[in-house]
A and B are shown apart, each in its own frame.
Chain A
C-alpha cells in the first residue's frame, strides 16, 4: 500500500523493535548499527515511515492514541491477547476513532482455543496440513518454505484492509477485521481439501510424477546442481519432443498407454540427454518448439534472472548505512516499467519529527524530552525480555 502512495507509519520501540532487525540482538550488534543493516528489515519496509514509541509509558501511549485518532486504519500481527492486554483492542480504539478500520492478524485468529498461540510463517504452513500433500509417501510431511505463511498472510491482510477501506469509502463506516494466518494457508492446500471432501481420502503423494502427464519431472543438466523441469501432458507435445530429441526415437511409435508404462525408461533416456546440455539453453530450445521446459533457478541466480532483469523488477535505491540496495518491485504495474520505489526502508525512528510534530502538532522542543524519557529514540536498547 505504501508503494501506491498510502502513508504507512510503522511503530516500533527502541527495546521492542521489529524482529526482522534481529532476533538475537547483542550490544556488539547495537554498536555496529546492526539494526540498520538487516536486509530482512530493509526488504519489507520500503516506502514506509518509522516512528519509535514506547507506549507502555503513559506519554507514549497518549501519542499513539492521538496518531490512531487521525488514521484511516491500524494493522497489527501480535499474538492474540496482546492488544487487549495493552488495552489497544478495537473496543478501545474505536472510541477514539469511530471510523477506524482495524485489521488484527494473529497466527490462528482472534477467537477460538488457539487464539493466544504463537507461530511463525513455518508453523502456519504446518498447521494447515499442507506438508502432507508434498513429496512422496516414503517421505515425512514436507514443508515448502522456511516461512511460507509470512508473505501469504501479508497479502491476505492487504486484501482484507482494502476491502474494509472500500466499504468505509462508500459508507463512512469503519470496522474490525480478524484474520487468521493459518487459515490463509488452507487455500494453498485446496487440492487436498477438495479430494478429501469429495472422495473421502487425500490425493496420492506422487513424488515428482503426475498421473495426468506423460512426462513430469526434473532432469539433471550440465554443471553442479543444475536442473530442468519438463512437463509434457498431451500426445501432441510428446510428438514435438520426439522430433526435437533424437535419443527418444525408440519410443516414437508408442501409444498413450504404452508410453505411460515406459515412464522409467523414458526418464532415463531423457536424463542422459539433458545431462549433456546447459539448463537455460535447453529450456530455450524446448520452449521454441512448444515444450514446457523450465530452468530451476537457484536463489543466488535471481538477481540475474533474464526475465526479471528485462522487466526491471529489482530497483536500486540508496539506503543509509548500507548504500545502494536492490528492492523488489510490486508484482503489478500500469506501464511497462514497475511502480517506482520512492525511498528505502526507514531507519529506527527516522520519522519521529515528521510524524509527531508535523502530523500530531507536537512542539519541536518536546522531542528532546521524549527522548530523554526513553519514549522515542533512534538506537535500539537491549531488554531483559528479549524473547
Chain B
C-alpha cells in the first residue's frame, strides 16, 4: 500500500486528536503499515501508479487536468455520492450521509430536534463496500493466471451514500409495502420491539434487546417481573412497544436495584441478548476484548497508542496487528524517479510472505 500524497499531505494528517509530536492519531490509525510518497504534477506517470494492481481515488482531490480515463490501471473511485446523479458535485460529510439515509431523522426525542451522530462511520462503511467490490474484481482478474489474455481494466464507482443505505433500506421497502412510516420515537426507542435500549443500573449502563416471546419471558424472570410475562398481549414485540409507558417504569425500577455486570452475566446465561455498555475509559479493559486482543498498538516515533484491531482473524495467515506510521514522504527515495523495473522490484520486495493478501502486486 503506497499513499501518494500532495505536498501538504493527506487531509487525514489534519484530523484530531493530535499526538504530542503534532501528528494526527487518526491518520496513524488509517495509514499504519503503508508507505508515504509525495507526488507532484506527474501523478499519472508515477511508477507506483503505473505498476499498481489497483488505484484508490477520491475524485475531489484530482486536479482538473486529470481525467479518470487517463488511468490505464484498475481504478476504484470512492466518492460521497458517486460519479453521476444530482448530488455528484456536492461536498459530502459523514453527517450529511446520516441525514440523507434517514438515520438522523430517527434519533432524538419525538418532540425535539433530531440528534446529529458523531464519528466517521459512514466513511468506514463506504471504504468497506469499496474494498469488497474492488477485491471481487481483482479476484476475477486472477481467475486464470496462466492465461495470456489480459483481463480488461476496471473502474469501480463506489458511493458512500449508497453504501450507507444498507442501514435504512429495509424501512424504505417496508414503507413501500404499506407499513406505517417509521417515526422518531425517542432516545433509544426503535420499531419493532421493546424492551430495546440502554438503561441505568446500580453501577453502570445495561443494553438490552428482547425480541422473541421466550426472551421476553426470561427477561421478566430475570428482573422479577413475572406478572408482565403472564399478559399474553406482551408476547408480541410490537404490542410491548405500544405499551411502553406502562412497562418501562417497572423495568427502570427493577434495574436500579441490580448491578449491570451481574445482570449481564445472568441474562446471557438465560439467552437474553444483553451487553454492558462500556465507557471509553472502560473499553480497553473489557475482559472479552482483552482476551481477543481487540485493540492493538500504533507506533509513531516514541509514541504508542491503542486502536481497534482488524475484527477478523485469519487463522493461518493472520493480518498484522498495529504497526508503524510513515512520515509524509518517508518513502520518496524508494519511488520517485525510478524506472518501472525497479518499481516492480520494490513492490515484490516490500511484500511480507505470510500475510493473506500477498500477491496483490505480484501476479
Which positions in A face B, CB cutoff 8 Å?
1, 4, 23-24, 39-40, 42-43, 103, 105, 107-109, 111-114, 117-120, 122-135, 139-146, 148, 151-152, 154-160, 162-167, 169-170, 173, 175-184, 186-199, 201-203, 206-208, 212, 216-218, 220, 225, 227, 229, 231, 287, 290, 292, 294-303, 305-308, 310-311, 313, 322, 325-326, 328-334, 336, 386-387
- A333 CB to nearest B CB, Å: 5
Which of A156, A162, A182, A231 has the most CB atoms of chain B within a 10 A radius of its CB? A162
Count of chain B residues with Cβ under 8 Å from any Cβ of A?
A: 144
Q: A126-B198, A186-B295, A190-B124 are in contact. List 17 more A-B contacts (CB 8 A).
A: A23-B212, A118-B268, A122-B273, A123-B207, A134-B115, A141-B198, A146-B191, A159-B132, A188-B119, A194-B17, A194-B29, A197-B305, A198-B25, A201-B280, A231-B96, A299-B181, A331-B165
Contact status B166-A294, CB under 8 Å? no
The answer to whether A299 and B139 have CB atoms under 8 Å apart is: no
Partner of A24 from the list B85, B154, B213, B278 (CB cut-off 8 Å) is B213
A-B contact list, 26 entries, CB within 8 Å: A24-B235, A42-B173, A122-B207, A123-B273, A126-B276, A127-B207, A131-B198, A131-B205, A132-B278, A134-B115, A155-B166, A178-B315, A180-B292, A180-B312, A190-B308, A227-B105, A294-B99, A296-B104, A297-B105, A299-B105, A299-B181, A300-B181, A302-B171, A311-B85, A326-B173, A387-B215
Provide the B19-44 mask, 1 if CB < 8 A to any CB of A, else 0: 10000011001000000000000000
CA distance A193 to B308 in the complex (A): 8
* Contact A194:B277 (CB < 8 A) given known A142-B115, A216-B116, A331-B162: no
> Which residues of B are found within 8 Å of A160, using beta-carbon distances?
312, 314
Q: Which residues of A contact B81 (CB under 8 A)?
A: 307
* Separation of A290 and B89 alpha carbons in the complex (Å): 11
CA distance A173 to B91 in the complex (A): 44
The answer to whether B172 and A134 touch across the interface, beta carbons within 8 angstroms, is no
Question: Which of B3-11, B182-190, B221-229, B332-340 forms part of the interface with chain A?
Answer: B182-190
Contact between B135 and A311, CB atoms less than 8 A apart: no
* Separation of A372 and B12 alpha carbons in the complex (Å): 62
Interface presence of B287 (CB below 8 A)? yes
Cα A225 to Cα B110 in complex, Å, equals 10
Within the complex, the shortest CB–CB distance from A40 to chain B, in Å, comes to 6
Q: Which 9 residue pairs spanning A and B have beta carbons closest together?
A: A126-B207, A186-B308, A183-B311, A146-B190, A299-B171, A302-B172, A332-B133, A127-B275, A300-B181
Nearest-CB distance from B9 to chain A (Å)? 18
Confirm or deny: B329 has a beta carbon within 8 angstroms of a beta carbon on chain A. no
Q: Mark B147-181, 1 if CB is under 8 A from A, else 0.
A: 00000001111110111011111111111110101
User: In the complex the two chains form, is A303's CB within 8 Å of B207's CB?
Assistant: no
Q: Which of B50-100 contact A (CB under 8 A)?
A: 76, 81-82, 84-87, 90-91, 93, 95-96, 99-100
Q: Would you call B213 and A4 a contact (CB within 8 A)? A: no
Which residue in chain A gives the minimum CB-CB distance to B101? A297
A120 touching B156 in the complex, CB below 8 Å, given contacts A43-B169, A135-B115, A188-B121: no
Chain A residue nearest in CB terms to B91: A292
Cα of A77 to Cα of B102 in the assembled complex, Å? 28
Contacts of A122 in B (CB 8 A): 190, 196, 207, 209, 273
Nearest A residue (CB) for B130: A332
State whether B196 touches A129 (Cβ < 8 A). no
> A39 and B170: CB pair below 8 A?
yes
Question: Contact between A43 and B99 (Cβ–Cβ < 8 Å)?
Answer: no
A326 and B176 within 8 A (CB): yes
Residue of A nearest to B124 (CB): A187
- Which chain B residue lies CB-closest to A202? B280
Complex Cα spacing A99 to B137, Å = 21
Q: How far is the CB of A190 from chain B (nearest CB, A)?
A: 6
| B-side interface mostly | mixed
Q: Are A148 and B167 in contact (CB under 8 A)?
A: yes
Of residues 199 through 258 on chain B, the ones whose CB sits less than 8 Å from some CB of chain A are 199-200, 205, 207, 209, 211-215, 235-237
Q: Which residues of B contact A4 (CB under 8 A)?
A: 136
B274 at the interface (CB under 8 A from A): yes
> Within the complex, which residue of B118, B174, B358 is in contact with A134, where a contact is CB–CB below 8 Å?
B118
Minimal beta-carbon separation of A147 from chain B (angstroms): 8
Whether B279 and A132, one on each chain, are in contact in the complex, defined by CB atoms closer than 8 angstroms, is: yes
Residue B138 CB within 8 A of the other chain: yes
User: Contact check: which of A120, A131, A151 meets B166 at CB < 8 Å?
Assistant: A151
Q: Say yes or no: is B259 at the interface (Cβ < 8 Å to chain A).
A: no
Smallest beta-carbon distance A194→chain B, Å: 5
Q: B162–A329 contact, CB under 8 A?
A: yes
A133 and B188 contacting across the interface, CB-CB below 8 Å = no
How far does the Cβ of A323 sit from chain B's closest Cβ, in whole Å?
Answer: 10
Q: What residues of chain B lie closer than 8 Å to A24, measured between beta carbons?
A: 212-213, 235-237
Check: B263 CB closer than 8 A to any chain A CB: no
The residues of B that contact A296 with a CB separation of less than 8 Å are 99, 102, 104-105, 114
Query: Does A170 lie within 8 Å of B363, measured CB to CB?
Result: yes
Is B350's CB within 8 Å of the partner chain A?
no
Q: Which of A141, A180, A334 contacts B156 (CB 8 A)?
A: A334
- Taking a contact as CB atoms closer than 8 A, the residue among A119, A148, A188 that contacts B275 in the complex is A119
- Tell me, rounded to whole Å, the shortest Cβ–Cβ distance linking A3 to chain B: 9
The reply to whether B136 and A1 form a contact with Cβ atoms under 8 Å apart is yes
A322 closest partner in B (C-beta) = B177
Q: Say yes or no: is B330 at the interface (Cβ < 8 Å to chain A).
A: no
Q: Measured between alpha carbons, how far is A307 from B86 in the docked complex, in Å?
A: 6
> Assuming A163-B135, A299-B168, A334-B156, is B283 touching A193 (CB within 8 A)?
yes
In whole Å, how far is A342's beta carbon from the nearest beta carbon of chain B? 16
Is there contact, CB below 8 Å, between A229 and B198?
no
B29 touches A190 (CB 8 A): yes
Structural contact, B173 and A325, CB atoms closer than 8 A? yes
Least Cβ–Cβ distance between A322 and chain B, in angstroms: 8
A157, A326, A332: which contacts B129 (Cβ < 8 A)?
Answer: A332
